[in-house]
Amino acid sequence: MRLLEFQAKELFREYGINLLPSRASKTIEEAKTYAKELGYPFVIKIQVPVGGRGKAGGIQKCQNDDELELKYPQILGLTIKGEKARAILLEKMADIKKELYLSMFLNRSKRCYTIIASPEGGVEIESVKNQIIKEVGLGNVSDEIAREVAKEMKLEGKLADDFADILKKLAKLTVEKEAELAEINPLAIMQDGSLMALDGKFVTDDNSNFRHDELQKYQEKTEIEERAEKSGFSLVELDGDIAVVGNGAGLVMSTLDMLSDNGGKPACFLDVGGGATTESVYEALTLISKMSRVKGILVNLYGGIVKTTVVAEAFLKAYEDNLINLPVFSRLKGTESEKAKEMLKNSRTKIYDSIEDAINAAVLGIKK
């Protein structure tokens, strides 16, 4: 799960990492109350779980009530990379001397936690040449390591002490919450010489959710996503019109790619997992029936031992129950496929021998 900036900052605050005064709001009325509390000037920042907010105009300065009333609704109405505003953060303006970068992340190829620090902050770290990289095993950062990084950052005196302190706190937070990434960018040196986290990015390992009840308040799920999770499905909603269903993440991704190559637009990625049964396919169709943009369904099931007749039953039942009235284009690898084809002969579900054929038919069928 990727936390929003203000949620990441809640965790930073809890772990004693210095922050500017800020308040998260959902309405202009709330914002006006907080404005009195904070005092002008401050910045308002859109809260979305994606990067590139500044470029998209999602971060603005406010000097007075008039500016707030003008800019707040503008930002609240923005959609950035398909993501709508979850909240607007009001944050006190700051006098910055210099911006640094600091993060700790799960290094997949080295299979350990890794610190990245840089004296150049405030920009995307990929574009920064001057990076200090330190592998730290399971994530325990000793005083010695923290000081070493501060030294390599060429920080001295109190600034070096403060930096080492923040690094240790960030490491503790990363390990205790089982994060894949904890990033402070920028970590600012203020005019008064203090260090402050001006932005925060925090991504946790969903598979460790069962150990972190305290993080569940940050979980946001639509009804469809919740139902998918309950059934053990993986679902990613997309903005096209052909729903893509299959078993196995790799196979569904592959189907999405082939559909896109042929000019089709996927409406969702839906992996029903493991084997396919009448019940699981029926539930998948139920979820798809709730997505209004869908005009057709593409099904790609590879079951070495799955009986395709079992899957055909789910389609028939879905039509019978008036659950769906959409065309289904399917490729079902498994036993009894001739019988399944016979069963579906007069329905709106067609079975094709190859996924390529099913995709061609789907793209043509939807255009009509």
The one segment of 18-26, 60-68, 245-253, 310-318 that binds another protein by CB under 8 A: 245-253
DSSP state of 154: T
242-246, strands of its sheet edge to edge: 234-237, 266-271, 242-246, 296-307, 328-335, 349-351
Is residue 218 among the annotated active site residues? no
Closest by alpha carbon to 57, among 68, 46, 47?
46
CA 344-305-269 angle, to 5 degrees, is 65
Residue 157 engages another protein in binding (rule: CB under 8 A): no
Taking the C-alpha atoms of residue 324 and residue 315, their distance in angstroms, rounded to an integer, is: 9
Taking the C-alpha atoms of residue 3 and residue 17, their distance in angstroms, rounded to an integer, is: 17
Is residue 101 among the annotated active site residues? yes
Catalytic residue (one of 10, 183, 283, 313): 183
Residue 70 engages another protein in binding (rule: CB under 8 A): no
Comparison of 20 and 251: residue with beta carbon closer to another protein: 251
Comparison of 41 and 82: residue with beta carbon closer to another protein: 82
Q: How far is the CB of 356 from another protein (least distance, A)?
A: 7
Residue 41 engages another protein in binding (rule: CB under 8 A): no
Q: Among 24, 259, 281, 363, which residue interacts with another protein (rule: CB under 8 A)?
A: 259
Catalogue the E-assigned strands of the chain. 2-3, 22-25, 42-47, 59-62, 79-80, 83-84, 87-92, 96-107, 112-118, 132-135, 179-190, 195-197, 200-204, 234-237, 242-246, 266-271, 296-307, 328-335, 349-351
The one segment of 65-73, 216-224, 240-248, 337-345 that binds another protein by CB under 8 A: 240-248
Q: How far is the CB of 285 from another protein (least distance, A)?
A: 18
Residue 254 engages another protein in binding (rule: CB under 8 A): yes
Taking the C-alpha atoms of residue 187 and residue 125, their distance in angstroms, rounded to an integer, is: 13
Residue 327 engages another protein in binding (rule: CB under 8 A): no
CA torsion through residues 99, 103, 107, 113, sign: positive
The one segment of 49-57, 86-94, 345-353, 360-368 that binds another protein by CB under 8 A: 49-57
Catalytic residue (one of 101, 113, 282, 352): 101
Residue 124 engages another protein in binding (rule: CB under 8 A): yes
Q: Looking at the annotation, which residues are catalytic?
A: 101, 183
**Residues engaged in binding another protein (CB under 8 A):** 2, 49-51, 81-82, 106, 108-109, 111-112, 124, 126, 137-138, 178, 180-181, 205-208, 210-211, 234, 236, 238, 246-254, 256-261, 266, 269, 271, 302-305, 333, 354-356
